[in-house]
Amino acid sequence: MTEILDFDVTRLPSPHTNDSHEAWRHTVRGFVTREIAPFVDEWDEAGVFPRDLHQKAAAVGLLGLGMPEEYGGVKDGIDVFHTIIASEELSRAGSGGLVAGLMTHGIGLPPILALGSDELKQRIAPSVLTGEKLIALCVTEPSGGSDVANVRTKAVREGNNYIVNGEKTFITTGCRADYLTVAVRTGGPDQKGAAGLSFLLIEANRNGVSRTRLKKMGWWMSDTASIHFDDVEVPIENLIGQENAGFAGIVTNFNMERLTMAAQAIAFTRVCIEDAAAWARERQTFGKPLAKHQVIRHKFSEMLRQVNASAAYLDNCAWRVSKGESPIADLSLLKVQATRTMEFCAREAMQILGGAGFMRGCRVERIYREVRVMAIGGGSEEIMNDLAARQMGL
């Protein structure tokens, strides 16, 4: 390869993209260059990014991408590859916390759009898609993460309300969210596991809702919280879909989350390669550039080999999703493949950068800190591998 290894050169061409996708890439890249990249280090150190960034993202079409047009979204002519491009370009800034915090509506709103009543959709979706209101998905609990069928937060029907008690944790945008899409157990003692689960929309300012911000290894600028529900009264109109039928909504949400997380992980590997390559060309060791040492060149070859394999897998899975398929096994394995590639490349890039990579303000340093949350969030490697095996009938 004669080109300089940068973020674009390391992107495999896809037979499934066209001029519309490239125009969208140009739009998102311009937004990231203007509104995000210059401030990422500052926001990470501060532990927060400006709330009005959501409205700026809405203005360029990021929040409404693929969402129903009647609520302010843009769906006509949009496919899964537009979504992947958005994930890639946002990841170019080198902050998973930024992507997770800015795009949290992508997991909090879909259950409402898929299962909710027309009244609930109209009440919630428009203000979320303009960035005026923030929404968070609340599934994970202290007693279990990937085991979503083991939800213990209870919602008991009393007249025209549900009374909610329980706790959620590791909730992205949990402290800043105006709306909470909450998985609760509404079924009786005979309905265990996946049976008896429902979704409720809970306004975060209701009496009995309390929130605690959590300190994390990475994703510093992203607000992550534990949320307590103590006798919270929620009107029955806030039920999302049918009572005791919420598990299907949880599972459906996971497919797109895992696809976009894989796209982010692969984009982060390309950031690592770009920054390590720029350093290796300039850094002089033993009388020549670092990149002229064979052991370093081989590191780049191995990184690119793994990135290309992961990107090709992503492209295939996205194409199948665009055709209406739900390849659960491959989406699970794709997430494992992508995050393991991210872990390998973050390590190798850190080795190449040496002490410079250990310094704050370096994209590779931040990505290295965020490897574990990418490998665990949305379904851990162990859960993903087991889910794939079960899909194979094993």
How many Å separate Cα 148 from the centre of its chain? 17
- The architecture that CATH gives domain 19-129 is Orthogonal Bundle (1.10)
Report the chain's terminal Cα–Cα distance, integer Å.
42
> Which of 109-113, 141-145, 338-342 shows the lowest per-residue confidence on average (mean pLDDT)?
141-145
pLDDT band (50, 70, 90) for residue 251: confident
pLDDT for 240 equals 96
Per-domain residue ranges of the chain? 19-129, 135-245, 248-391
pLDDT for 254 equals 86
Alpha helices in the chain (DSSP H): 19-35, 40-46, 53-59, 80-91, 96-102, 105-108, 110-115, 118-129, 247-282, 294-322, 328-353, 363-369, 371-376, 381-391
| Averaged pLDDT, 272-295 | 93
pLDDT for 252 equals 73
pTM: 0.94
Residue 212 has pLDDT above 50, yes or no: yes
Q: Output the six-digit token pair for 208.
A: 């009995």
Question: Which of helix, strand or coil describes residue 209?
Answer: strand
Closest C-alpha to 233, from 251, 206, 266: 206
Give 61's Cβ-side CA count (13 Å radius): 19
pLDDT tens digits for range 138-172 = 999 998 666 677 789 999 999 999 999 999 999 99
Closest C-alpha to 203, from 114, 140, 136, 152: 136
> Do 98 and 36 form a contact (C-beta atoms < 8 A)?
yes
> Which top CATH class is 135-245?
mainly beta
pLDDT tens digits for range 13-69 = 999 999 999 999 999 999 999 999 999 999 999 999 999 999 999 999 999 999 999
pLDDT band (50, 70, 90) for residue 335: very high
> Do 221 and 288 form a contact (C-beta atoms < 8 A)?
no
| Averaged pLDDT, 243-262 | 87
Give 161's Cβ-side CA count (13 Å radius): 9
Question: Which of helix, strand or coil describes residue 177?
Answer: coil
| Averaged pLDDT, 233-245 | 94
Closest C-alpha to 203, from 265, 151, 138: 138
Rounded mean pLDDT of the chain?
94
pLDDT tens digits for range 367-394 = 999 999 999 998 899 999 999 999 999 8
pLDDT for 146 equals 64
From residue 367, give the alpha-carbon distance in Å to each of 9, 103, 107, 264, 308. 20, 18, 22, 11, 19
> Do 108 and 131 form a contact (C-beta atoms < 8 A)?
no
Q: Collect all residues with Cβ–Cβ distance below 8 Å to 9 and sequence separation of at least 6.
A: 1, 3
| Averaged pLDDT, 242-254 | 83
For the residues of 371-388, what is the DSSP string, one character each? HHHHHHTTS-HHHHHHHH
pLDDT for 1 equals 46
Asked whether this chain's domains 135-245 and 248-391 adopt the same fold, the reply is: no
CATH classification of 248-391, choosing from 3.40.50.11540, 1.20.140.10, 2.70.170.10, 1.10.10.1100?
1.20.140.10
